[in-house]
Amino acid sequence: MDRFLSLFQDYDILGAFWANIQLTFWAALGSFVLGTILALMRISPVPSFQWVGASYVNIFRNTPLTIIIVFGVLGLYSQLQVQLNENFNLNFFMLAIVGLTVYHAAFVCEAIRSGVNTVPLGQAEAARAIGLSFFPAAWLIILPQALRGAVAPLGNVLIALTKNSTVATAGSVAETSGLMRTMLEFNGDIALLIFLIFAVGFVIIVIPIGLATTWLSKKLAVAR
Amino acid sequence: MSAHRQTVLFDAPGPRARRRILIANVVGILLVAAILAVVLIRFAEQGQLDAGKWSPFLQADTWLNFMLPGLMATLRAAAVAIVTSVVFGFLFGVGRLSHLAPLRWFCSIVVEFFRAVPVLLMMIFLWIGLANVRIFPPQDVPFIAVVTALTLYNGAVIAELVRSGVHSLPKGQREAALAIGMTRQQSLRNVEIPQALVAMLPALLSQFVVILKDSALGAIITYVELLNEGRRLGSAEGNMVPALLVTALIFIVINFALTALAHRLSRYLSSRTASRTAQVSPTPNLLPGEDTAEPAKRP
């Protein structure tokens, strides 16, 4: 028990989790915006937009996140001299957020598209019948209903994003997986305890997200 | 969905709408061209388009010494993890369907736990933990850690697929099996699971894509797979950007092929089972019963 408490004193475990939560928050915001734009492009009548949306999804959904994050540091930063912030650490943090955003935007796009599938045809027909063209119809009629239908899959993306924020360690960001590695290296005798602290930490974060999105998806579901 | 859906979302375009679409189309193409141009100019400014950066990929040595061994290591880890996680998934998926309550609870806790913990954390724990206990030869530890972590996570997801596959079968299947005198176990083994298996095949293939992608996490724990070899090539030849891009391209091609196969399979198999063969998104669901919230595909 003493060892357990001293672990929390010697290492900033909560700070590491806070870093993951921040990564998740900003990447969730970014990928939601980008994913919504991509979804609109994919259902639009313009061939070039459709093509861009589909290519984006196919490319980023099939690339390992690790490569994207590593590319942020070794490619964007070291080779292409892309610097998002003067502060060294903050720069890596922001690059990791960009990496998480572009990867998860592809999944958000697919989640919203699956939500579009839940909107009955009659809605689109009615929108057309009152004279709305594509963009107003999509923005005012289809998307609001699609988002309600997409709450459950979007929640799954958020859960995956929360867990994937640990990959930011490959982008030189100080967060849980890096801290756990340091702790394991110096306290090999209580390795299982250390792992369980972090594992339970993630269970505590992830389970409420799952419960909340399940509850929300039922509450927001359009009664038909 | 696409063609059917899209013809409904907007009317058959008349002359004005056609003109607008044409203009938007041209604007879209110009935008894409502009973005590409910005990227290429940036590449050129930083010397990333120099022939010297890309020419290593024309030499056999690059492929023989770096990319192919890396690809083999990735495929080996993924293949072993696919087999073990399918076994794990079936054991625990069937365990969750058992009518022995303690067994059901045990399997549920294991499955829910491993679905909620990040794969990378398990990998790092196994990597350092196994190195400490010295059961396995040190050079095999990263491989074992990668495969075990992938198995625990993806096995848990597959267990959910098995369970939801059986649950989404029409009730009549079990009732018919019971009516001809099968026990519940026989009905599960001979009637329900075979059909659930067919229904879940496309989702299973999508999960294989996840396994293949996540095997790249092994690069973080010093498992020498494709990403690590690509990085090694990048430092050796001083062409990090091309090396990482080619590495990503190899992953994309393999995963794209697997995804395309899953799509075709789901269309082909839909006539072979009483269940629906919807494609499940490759992101994991967390809680039991969430699959039912997945919207049904339109016919």
Summarize pLDDT for A160-210 with one digit per residue, the tens: 999 999 999 999 999 999 999 999 999 888 999 999 999 999 999 999 999
Residue A45 has what pLDDT?
87
Rg value, chain B, Cα: 24
**Residue whose entry in the numeric block shows the structure tokens 């080996």:** B76
Nearest residue in chain A measured CA to CA from B241 = A75
CATH class held by domain A2-220: mainly alpha
Contact state of B281 with A167 under an 8 Å Cβ cutoff: no
Q: Which residues of B touch A46 (CB under 8 A)?
A: 21, 24-25, 28
What per-residue confidence (pLDDT) applies to B11?
64
Q: Which of A94, A21, A101, A109 is nearest to A68 (CA)?
A: A101
A188 vs chain B: nearest CA distance in angstroms? 7
| pLDDT grade for B291, boundaries at 50, 70 and 90 | very low
Which residue, A133, A46, A59, is CA-closest to B28? A46
End-to-end CA distance of chain A: 55
Q: If contacts are CB pairs under 8 Å, which of residues 246-285 in chain B contact chain A?
A: 247-248, 251-252, 255-256, 259, 281-285
- Among A24, A34, A44, A66, most B C-beta atoms within 10 A, so best to mutate, is A66
- Tokens 């879209």 label which residue? B28
CA–CA separation, A109 and B281 (whole Å)? 11
Per-residue pLDDT, averaged over B162-174, amounts to: 89
| CA–CA gap between residue A157 and residue A104 (Å, rounded) | 7
Within its chain, how far is the Cα of B51 from the centroid?
Answer: 35
pLDDT band of B189, cuts 50, 70, 90: confident
| Amino acid at the residue B199 | A
Specify the pLDDT at position B278: 53
Q: How confident is the model at residue B298 (pLDDT cuts 50, 70, 90)?
A: very low
**What whole-number distance in Å separates Cα of residue B42 and Cα of residue B49?**
10
**pLDDT(B122) > 50:** yes
A75:B32 CB<8 A: no
Q: Spell B70-93 as b/e; 16+ CB within 10 A means b.
A: bbebbeebbebbbebbbebbbebb
Q: Do A202 and B1 touch (CB under 8 A)?
A: no
Q: Is B84 on the interface with A (CB under 8 A)?
A: no
Judge whether B209 and B258 are in contact, CB under 8 Å.
yes
What amino acid is encoded at A172 in this protein?
Answer: S
Closest CA to A98 of A64, A55, A65: A65
Average pLDDT score over residue span A31-53: 93
Residues 6+ apart with CB under 8 A from B291: B160, B164, B167, B168, B280, B285
**Nearest-5° angle of CA B67, CA B70, CA B74?**
135
Where along chain A do its domains lie?
2-220
Which segment of A101-110, B8-17, B198-207 scores lowest on mean pLDDT? B8-17
Query: CB of B192 within 8 A of CB of B167?
Result: no
What value does the mean pLDDT of chain A take? Answer: 92
Query: Which of left, alpha, beta for B134 (phi over 0: left; psi -120 to 50: alpha)?
Result: left
Q: Which residues of B touch A202 (CB under 8 A)?
A: 116-118, 121
**Helices and strands in chain B, H and E counts:** 13, 0
Chain A nearest-CA residue for B238: A79
pLDDT at B75 over 90: yes
Cα–Cα distance measured from residue A149 to residue A144, given in angstroms and rounded to the nearest whole number? 9
Residues near B101 by beta carbon (within 8 Å), at least 6 away in sequence = none
pLDDT at B250: 95
At residue A222, the pLDDT reads: 78
Flag if B220 and A64 touch (Cβ within 8 Å). no
Beta carbon pairs, A and B, within 8 Å: 216
ipTM over 0.85: yes
CA distance A95 to chain B (A): 16
pLDDT at B81: 97
| Chain A: closest CA distance from residue B117 (Å) | 5
The alpha-carbon radius of gyration of chain A (Å, integer) is 21
Residues of chain A with Cβ-Cβ distance to B17 below 8 Å are: 45, 133
Instruction: Look at residue B8 and tell me whether its pLDDT is greater than 70.
Output: no
pLDDT at B211: 95
Judged by a CB distance cut-off of 8 A, whether residue B238 touches chain A is: no
Interchain CB contact of B7 with A (< 8 Å): no
Residue A139, token pair as written in the block: 């923005």
Give dist(CA A213, CA A115) in Å, integer: 14
Q: Residue B56's closest CA among B245, B251, B238, B252? A: B238
For B87-113, what is the mean pLDDT?
93
Task: Spell out which residues of chain B touch residue A175, defining contact as CB-CB under 8 Å.
Answer: none
For residue A158, what are its two tokens?
A: 């958020």
Cα A189 to Cα A11, A164, B130, B278, distances in angstroms: 16, 28, 12, 47
Is the backbone of residue A74 left (phi > 0), alpha (psi -120 to 50) or beta?
alpha
Closest by CA position to A111, among listed A156, A142, A61 = A156
Chain A residues within an 8 Å CB radius of B231: 70, 74
10 Å Cβ neighbour count for B282? 23
Ordered DSSP codes for B60-120: HHIIIIIIHHHHHHHHHHHHHHHHHHHHHHHHHHHHHH-S-HHHHHHHHHHHHHHHHS-HH
Question: pLDDT (tens digit, 9 = 90+) per residue, A102-147?
Answer: 999 999 999 999 898 888 888 888 988 898 888 888 899 999 999 9
Mean pLDDT to the nearest integer, B65-70: 92
Q: What per-residue confidence (pLDDT) applies to B277?
A: 62
Q: How confident is the model at residue B9 (pLDDT cuts 50, 70, 90)?
A: low
Return the percentage of chain B with pLDDT > 90, whole number. 55
Between CA A30 and CA A100 the distance in angstroms is: 9
Per DSSP, the three-state class of B136 is coil
Kindly list the structural domains of chain B, giving each domain's residue range(s) and its CATH number in brackets, ordered by start.
60-293 (1.10.3720.10)
Q: What is the pLDDT of residue A63?
A: 95
Q: Which of B149, B253, B112, B204 is nearest to A166 (CA)?
A: B149
Cα angle at A151 between A146 and A103, to 5 degrees? Answer: 95
Minimal Cα distance from B260: which residue of A? Answer: A58
